[in-house]
Homo-oligomer: A and B are copies of this chain.
Amino acid sequence: MKNSTKSRGRKPRQEAVPVDVIRRLSLYLRNLRNLREAGRGRVSSEEVAGPFNLSPAQFRKDLSWFGRFGKSGVGYEAEALSEEIMRIIGTDQSWNVAVVGVGEMGGALLKYPGFDQSNFNLAAAFDNNPAKIGRTINGVKIVDIADAPLTIKNCGIKVAILTVNRDAAQAAAELMVKCGVRAILNFAPCRLILPETICVSNMDVSCELETLVCRLRHRLLRKGMQ
Protein backbone atom coordinates (compact mmCIF):
# COMPACT_ATOMS: atom_id res chain seq x y z
CA MET A 1 0.00 0.00 0.00
CA LYS A 2 2.93 2.33 0.30
CA ASN A 3 4.51 4.12 -2.61
CA SER A 4 1.47 3.10 -4.62
CA THR A 5 0.46 5.98 -6.85
CA LYS A 6 2.72 8.00 -9.05
CA SER A 7 4.99 10.43 -7.28
CA ARG A 8 2.65 11.86 -4.69
CA GLY A 9 4.28 10.53 -1.56
CA ARG A 10 7.77 11.89 -2.15
CA LYS A 11 9.69 13.96 0.31
CA PRO A 12 11.97 16.01 -1.88
CA ARG A 13 13.14 18.38 0.86
CA GLN A 14 13.96 20.83 -1.86
CA GLU A 15 14.50 24.51 -1.54
CA ALA A 16 11.74 25.22 -4.02
CA VAL A 17 9.80 28.45 -3.88
CA PRO A 18 6.15 27.89 -2.97
CA VAL A 19 3.83 28.91 -5.78
CA ASP A 20 1.82 31.07 -3.37
CA VAL A 21 4.87 33.26 -2.94
CA ILE A 22 4.82 34.01 -6.65
CA ARG A 23 1.11 34.66 -6.65
CA ARG A 24 1.68 37.25 -3.94
CA LEU A 25 4.63 38.78 -5.80
CA SER A 26 2.25 39.31 -8.68
CA LEU A 27 -0.14 41.16 -6.37
CA TYR A 28 2.62 43.26 -4.85
CA LEU A 29 3.73 44.19 -8.33
CA ARG A 30 0.29 45.44 -9.29
CA ASN A 31 0.06 47.49 -6.12
CA LEU A 32 3.48 48.95 -6.75
CA ARG A 33 2.22 50.13 -10.12
CA ASN A 34 -0.70 51.85 -8.41
CA LEU A 35 1.55 53.41 -5.80
CA ARG A 36 3.88 54.71 -8.48
CA GLU A 37 0.97 56.13 -10.46
CA ALA A 38 -0.08 57.84 -7.24
CA GLY A 39 3.33 59.47 -7.14
CA ARG A 40 4.94 57.42 -4.40
CA GLY A 41 8.65 56.92 -4.85
CA ARG A 42 9.62 55.20 -1.65
CA VAL A 43 7.33 52.65 -0.03
CA SER A 44 7.21 50.39 3.01
CA SER A 45 6.34 46.72 3.25
CA GLU A 46 3.12 47.71 5.01
CA GLU A 47 2.06 49.90 2.10
CA VAL A 48 2.74 47.22 -0.47
CA ALA A 49 1.21 44.24 1.32
CA GLY A 50 -1.48 45.88 3.47
CA PRO A 51 -4.13 46.35 0.77
CA PHE A 52 -4.23 42.59 0.28
CA ASN A 53 -4.61 41.90 3.98
CA LEU A 54 -1.13 40.47 3.98
CA SER A 55 1.34 41.31 6.73
CA PRO A 56 4.50 43.33 6.20
CA ALA A 57 6.46 40.37 7.56
CA GLN A 58 4.95 38.16 4.88
CA PHE A 59 6.00 40.59 2.20
CA ARG A 60 9.55 40.69 3.48
CA LYS A 61 9.73 36.89 3.80
CA ASP A 62 8.43 36.47 0.28
CA LEU A 63 11.12 38.75 -1.09
CA SER A 64 13.79 37.06 0.99
CA TRP A 65 13.45 33.97 -1.21
CA PHE A 66 15.17 35.97 -3.91
CA GLY A 67 17.44 38.49 -2.24
CA ARG A 68 17.54 41.76 -0.37
CA PHE A 69 15.84 44.70 -2.03
CA GLY A 70 15.17 47.25 0.71
CA LYS A 71 17.08 49.64 2.90
CA SER A 72 16.90 49.12 6.66
CA GLY A 73 15.02 51.87 8.37
CA VAL A 74 14.01 53.36 5.05
CA GLY A 75 11.93 51.08 2.84
CA TYR A 76 11.93 50.25 -0.86
CA GLU A 77 12.27 52.29 -4.03
CA ALA A 78 8.98 51.55 -5.79
CA GLU A 79 10.37 51.60 -9.29
CA ALA A 80 13.49 49.58 -8.58
CA LEU A 81 11.48 47.03 -6.63
CA SER A 82 8.97 46.72 -9.47
CA GLU A 83 11.76 45.96 -11.86
CA GLU A 84 13.27 43.40 -9.51
CA ILE A 85 9.96 41.60 -9.09
CA MET A 86 9.38 41.63 -12.82
CA ARG A 87 12.81 40.13 -13.26
CA ILE A 88 12.00 37.43 -10.72
CA ILE A 89 8.68 36.59 -12.34
CA GLY A 90 10.09 36.80 -15.84
CA THR A 91 7.92 39.63 -17.13
CA ASP A 92 10.92 41.87 -17.65
CA GLN A 93 10.89 40.23 -21.06
CA SER A 94 7.96 40.01 -23.44
CA TRP A 95 6.00 36.77 -23.86
CA ASN A 96 4.11 35.73 -26.95
CA VAL A 97 0.91 33.93 -26.03
CA ALA A 98 -1.50 31.86 -28.10
CA VAL A 99 -5.26 31.77 -27.62
CA VAL A 100 -6.57 28.32 -28.48
CA GLY A 101 -10.27 28.30 -29.33
CA VAL A 102 -11.89 31.55 -30.43
CA GLY A 103 -15.33 31.08 -28.92
CA GLU A 104 -16.93 33.58 -26.59
CA MET A 105 -14.21 33.36 -23.97
CA GLY A 106 -11.34 33.28 -26.44
CA GLY A 107 -12.76 36.28 -28.27
CA ALA A 108 -13.21 38.15 -25.02
CA LEU A 109 -9.58 37.58 -24.07
CA LEU A 110 -8.37 38.69 -27.50
CA LYS A 111 -10.22 41.97 -26.96
CA TYR A 112 -9.25 42.30 -23.30
CA PRO A 113 -7.46 45.62 -22.88
CA GLY A 114 -5.59 44.52 -19.76
CA PHE A 115 -2.85 42.88 -21.80
CA ASP A 116 -1.90 46.15 -23.50
CA GLN A 117 0.04 47.39 -20.51
CA SER A 118 1.54 44.00 -19.79
CA ASN A 119 4.42 42.11 -21.28
CA PHE A 120 2.05 39.42 -22.50
CA ASN A 121 1.45 39.72 -26.19
CA LEU A 122 -1.42 37.77 -27.73
CA ALA A 123 0.47 36.76 -30.82
CA ALA A 124 -1.73 34.02 -32.28
CA ALA A 125 -5.26 32.66 -32.18
CA PHE A 126 -6.25 29.17 -33.27
CA ASP A 127 -9.56 27.58 -34.14
CA ASN A 128 -10.79 24.71 -36.27
CA ASN A 129 -13.95 26.42 -37.47
CA PRO A 130 -13.56 27.38 -41.17
CA ALA A 131 -16.02 30.23 -40.63
CA LYS A 132 -13.62 31.83 -38.17
CA ILE A 133 -10.28 31.02 -39.77
CA GLY A 134 -8.82 34.02 -41.56
CA ARG A 135 -10.84 36.58 -39.63
CA THR A 136 -9.02 39.11 -37.48
CA ILE A 137 -9.88 40.06 -33.91
CA ASN A 138 -8.19 43.07 -32.41
CA GLY A 139 -5.34 42.72 -34.85
CA VAL A 140 -4.82 39.01 -34.28
CA LYS A 141 -5.52 36.75 -37.25
CA ILE A 142 -7.29 33.48 -36.51
CA VAL A 143 -5.23 30.59 -37.84
CA ASP A 144 -6.30 27.03 -38.61
CA ILE A 145 -5.24 24.97 -35.65
CA ALA A 146 -3.75 22.51 -38.15
CA ASP A 147 -1.16 25.19 -38.85
CA ALA A 148 -0.39 25.69 -35.18
CA PRO A 149 3.02 23.97 -35.28
CA LEU A 150 4.41 26.47 -37.77
CA THR A 151 2.90 29.56 -36.15
CA ILE A 152 4.00 28.57 -32.66
CA LYS A 153 7.50 27.93 -33.85
CA ASN A 154 7.70 31.17 -35.80
CA CYS A 155 6.39 33.28 -32.93
CA GLY A 156 8.42 31.48 -30.29
CA ILE A 157 5.27 30.83 -28.29
CA LYS A 158 5.76 29.02 -25.00
CA VAL A 159 2.45 29.92 -23.32
CA ALA A 160 -1.10 29.12 -24.43
CA ILE A 161 -4.49 30.09 -23.09
CA LEU A 162 -6.93 27.25 -23.64
CA THR A 163 -10.46 28.44 -24.33
CA VAL A 164 -11.93 25.49 -26.18
CA ASN A 165 -14.88 23.57 -24.79
CA ARG A 166 -14.45 20.79 -22.31
CA ASP A 167 -14.54 17.89 -24.75
CA ALA A 168 -11.84 19.41 -26.94
CA ALA A 169 -9.56 20.53 -24.13
CA GLN A 170 -7.39 17.47 -23.61
CA ALA A 171 -6.64 16.97 -27.31
CA ALA A 172 -5.97 20.66 -27.85
CA ALA A 173 -3.64 20.73 -24.87
CA GLU A 174 -1.72 17.72 -26.14
CA LEU A 175 -1.39 19.36 -29.53
CA MET A 176 -0.01 22.51 -27.93
CA VAL A 177 2.53 20.50 -25.99
CA LYS A 178 3.55 18.72 -29.17
CA CYS A 179 4.08 22.14 -30.76
CA GLY A 180 6.44 23.19 -27.98
CA VAL A 181 4.13 25.04 -25.61
CA ARG A 182 5.34 24.64 -22.04
CA ALA A 183 2.69 26.47 -20.00
CA ILE A 184 -1.09 26.37 -20.32
CA LEU A 185 -3.74 28.53 -18.72
CA ASN A 186 -6.81 26.31 -18.90
CA PHE A 187 -10.29 27.85 -18.97
CA ALA A 188 -12.04 24.57 -19.75
CA PRO A 189 -13.87 23.00 -16.80
CA CYS A 190 -11.70 19.91 -16.60
CA ARG A 191 -8.23 18.84 -15.52
CA LEU A 192 -5.61 18.26 -18.18
CA ILE A 193 -3.40 15.21 -18.08
CA LEU A 194 -0.01 16.29 -19.35
CA PRO A 195 3.67 15.54 -18.72
CA GLU A 196 4.95 16.87 -15.41
CA THR A 197 7.30 19.21 -17.22
CA ILE A 198 4.32 21.22 -18.50
CA CYS A 199 2.97 23.96 -16.23
CA VAL A 200 -0.81 24.12 -16.02
CA SER A 201 -3.04 26.56 -14.21
CA ASN A 202 -6.81 26.34 -14.16
CA MET A 203 -9.25 29.24 -14.29
CA ASP A 204 -12.32 27.53 -12.97
CA VAL A 205 -15.45 29.68 -12.80
CA SER A 206 -17.72 26.94 -11.45
CA CYS A 207 -15.26 26.01 -8.76
CA GLU A 208 -14.88 29.62 -7.65
CA LEU A 209 -18.62 30.22 -7.63
CA GLU A 210 -19.17 27.11 -5.54
CA THR A 211 -16.48 28.18 -3.11
CA LEU A 212 -18.09 31.59 -2.88
CA VAL A 213 -21.59 30.41 -2.07
CA CYS A 214 -20.22 27.91 0.39
CA ARG A 215 -18.61 30.80 2.22
CA LEU A 216 -22.04 32.35 2.52
CA ARG A 217 -23.29 29.57 4.76
CA HIS A 218 -20.23 28.32 6.59
CA ARG A 219 -17.99 31.01 8.02
CA LEU A 220 -14.78 29.84 6.39
CA LEU A 221 -11.15 30.38 7.16
CA ARG A 222 -9.43 32.40 4.50
CA LYS A 223 -5.81 33.40 4.50
CA GLY A 224 -5.29 36.91 3.27
CA MET A 225 -5.11 37.88 -0.38
CA GLN A 226 -8.84 38.40 0.04
Interfacial residues, chain A to chain B (CB-CB below 8 A): 5-6, 8-9, 14, 16-19, 22-23, 25-27, 29-30, 46, 50-53, 55, 88-91, 95, 97, 103-105, 107-109, 111-115, 118, 120, 158-159, 161, 165-166, 182-185, 189-192, 199-224, 226
Q: Knowing that A17-B218, A17-B221, A199-B215 are A-B contacts, what are 13 other residue pairs whose CB atoms are under 8 Å apart, sorted by A's residue number? A: A16-B221, A19-B221, A19-B222, A23-B207, A51-B191, A103-B108, A107-B108, A120-B209, A159-B216, A183-B212, A183-B216, A200-B226, A201-B211
Chain B nearest CB, measured from A105 CB (Å) = 5
Question: Which residue of the partner chain B has the closest CB to A183?
Answer: B212
- Where chain A touches its partner, the secondary structure class is mixed
Contact check: which of B5, B199, B224 meets A46 at CB < 8 Å? B5
Q: A104-B108, A191-B51, A199-B216 are in contact. Are A209 and B19 (CB under 8 A)?
A: no
- Do B26 and A205 touch across chains, with their CB atoms under 8 A apart? no
Question: Which residue of the partner chain B has the closest CB to A186?
Answer: B226
Which residues of chain B are near A182, meaning CB under 8 Å? 216
- Do B208 and A185 touch across chains, with their CB atoms under 8 A apart? yes
Chain B nearest CB, measured from A97 CB (Å) = 7
Which residues of chain B are near A204, meaning CB under 8 Å? 26
Question: Which residue of the partner chain B has the closest CB to A190?
Answer: B30
Question: Which residue of the partner chain B has the closest CB to A16?
Answer: B221
- Do A8 and B111 touch across chains, with their CB atoms under 8 A apart? no
Which residues of chain B are near A16, meaning CB under 8 Å? 218-221
User: Which 3 pairs between the two chains have the least Cβ-Cβ distance?
Assistant: A104-B108, A16-B221, A108-B108
Question: Which residue of the partner chain B has the closest CB to A88?
Answer: B214
